[in-house]
Structure 1
Amino acid sequence: MAGPRERYRAQVRDEVKQHAWVQIAEAGVSALSLNAIAKQMGVSGPALYRYFASRDELITALIRDAYRSLADTVRTAYDGGTDAVGLAQVIRAWALADPQRYLLIYGTPVPGYHAPDETTAISDEILTVLVEAVGPDRAVSFWTRLHGVLSLELAGHFAGRDVDPAGLVEREISELVSSDRS
């Protein structure tokens, strides 16, 4: 059981991350600033550096949280009996619910930032579920088809066009799965 200091530290870290997500949503990850977050929280910039040693450490924490959330969502859905098409829709729903999370881990890389190996290892859990769901030969194709549609959708490239992204995801993954059985 965590003591009062550990609980307080966890609460402050969570509050910093919430402010970070708001900044990312408003101005993008490149505008993320611990000093700006400190100002919003009514503390000095150096005070936050006790909780996150650097902007990169904060970004790493956000990436880990995003990957963990998606990995847990995908694993829970698959273990609950969701098929490949359903998994694609679960991932799409996760991305649409909070596009900033999706874009942080699958969008444009953050200039000068390199995620630690243990952070990206969480993303392997997602691919492991896809390998279980569609087999090793199709898992990467599943991933690329889904992320292609999601990236276009989140970037607004389907706006004003007669495109149903949910239907497109379903057709892409259904085609992939049925071609595996041929």
Structure 2
Amino acid sequence: MVKKEERAAAESPRERYRAQVRAEIKEHAWQQVATAGASALSLNAIAKRMGMSGPALYRYYASRDDLITELVKEAYRSLADTLHDTAATGADLRALAHTLRDWALEDPHRYLLVYGTPVPGYHAPDDVTGVSDAIMKTLLDACTAALAARPVAPPAPGFLAGHREWAAGHPAPPAALRLALAFWTRLHGVLSLELAGHFAGMGFDPALLFTAELDDLAPR
């Protein structure tokens, strides 16, 4: 395998410069997402901040959607790698849940870009799904292991046996599919509401609600 340093050395000065400019554009884009949301992302505004003309910047990203796709892929890869690294230590489903929450709280705008309100007019290309599938694979592995440790697996709705496309070919049994869906919808529901500020003034720590949902999904 070619090391990262060796790949960098093999790149031409023009290729390295292009990569640096694209990275700087993404940095400004993340700043825009944090301050005004992804729907307000403007390539012309980024070009102005970088001292470039609009047409010059479009040589690096052909459109706003092209840039948003890069940000979405970057967010998915970050979460996929974070969960994979946690799972590689032998961590269980509960640990993965807390890893997910820590990742979301570390950068709420990154989380909301991929799990919040869809950006108006933006449609993710098919290859984005491939990046997100790695996240679900890690979750399905953990759910399968969690159920294997229980004396009796909970029943699963019959429709899951014939609707497995979202599992991307993972061999998890229907009960594990059901657990993964419950984990994904319930914990993301709590996180999304928390990060959007909907628990403000309700008088309790959202972390307690997150833990209560997790206790129900993955008993200690």
Task: Report the TM-score when normalising by structure 2.
Answer: 0.78
Displacement of 1:4? 1.4
- CA offset digits 1:4-51 (Å, max 9, x no partner): 111111111110011011111111111111000000001111111110
The answer for unaligned runs of 5 or more in structure 1 is: none
Confirm or deny that 1:143 pairs with 2:184: yes
Partners of 1:24 and 1:31 within 8 A in 2: yes
Q: How many residues align?
A: 179
Task: Tell me the amino acid that sits aligned with residue 219 of structure 2.
Answer: S
Letter matched to residue 202 of structure 2 = R
Question: Aligned partners of 2:87 and 2:206: how far apart in 1?
Answer: 22
- The secondary structure found in structure 1 opposite 2:60 is coil
* 2:28 is the counterpart of 1:19: yes
1:78 matched to 2:87? The reply is yes
1:56 and 2:97 aligned: no
**Match status 1:177 vs 2:211:** no
State the superposition RMSD in angstroms: 1.3
Between the aligned partners of 2:33 and 2:219, the Cα distance in structure 1 is: 39
**C-alpha distance in structure 1 between counterparts of 2:141 and 2:208, whole Å:** 23
Shift in Å, 1:157: 1.4
- Alignment check: 8 A CA contact 1:30 1:110 kept: yes
- Give the corresponding residue for 2:151: none
Question: CA shift at 1:174, angstroms?
Answer: 2.3
More helix by share: 1
Higher RCO, Cα 8 Å, sep 6+: 1
Under a length normalisation based on structure 1, what TM-score does the superposition of the two structures give?
0.94
Larger Rg: 2
Amino acid at match of 2:50: M
Unaligned runs of 5+ in 2: 1-6, 145-176
Identity value in percent = 63
Q: Which 4+ residue blocks in structure 1 deviate beyond 6 angstroms? A: none
Which amino acid in structure 2 is aligned with residue 129 of structure 1? T
